[in-house]
Amino acid sequence: MTQVHLSLHVLFAAIVISLVTAVVAADKSDRLNHESLKLMLENMGYEIHKAGKYNSGAPWYQLKFKEGGADYFVMVSLPKDQKTVWVIADLVNLDKQQELPRVIAIKMLDHNYIDSKHVYFSFGAKGRHLRLKGALPNRSVTPIALRTLIRETLETLKTEKQIWEPKKWPQEDKGTMGQPKEGKAAH
Tell me the sheet residues that pair with 50. Answer: 62
> What class has domain 34-168?
alpha beta
Side-chain-side CA neighbours of 96 within 13 Å: the count stands at 0
Along the 187 residues of the chain, how does pLDDT read in single tens digits? Answer: 555 555 655 545 555 455 444 443 344 578 999 999 999 999 999 999 999 999 889 999 999 999 889 999 999 999 999 999 999 999 999 888 888 889 998 999 988 888 667 899 998 878 788 999 999 999 999 999 999 999 999 999 999 988 888 888 887 554 555 444 454 444 3
Domain boundaries in the chain? 1-30, 34-168
Q: Is the pTM of this model over 0.85?
A: no
What are the φ/ψ torsions at residue 99 (nearest 5 degrees)? -120, 155
Tell how many helices (H) and how many strands (E) occur in the chain. 5, 6
DSSP 33: -
* Residue environment code for 86-105, b if the CB has 16+ CB neighbours within 10 A, otherwise e: bbbbebbebeeeebbbbebb
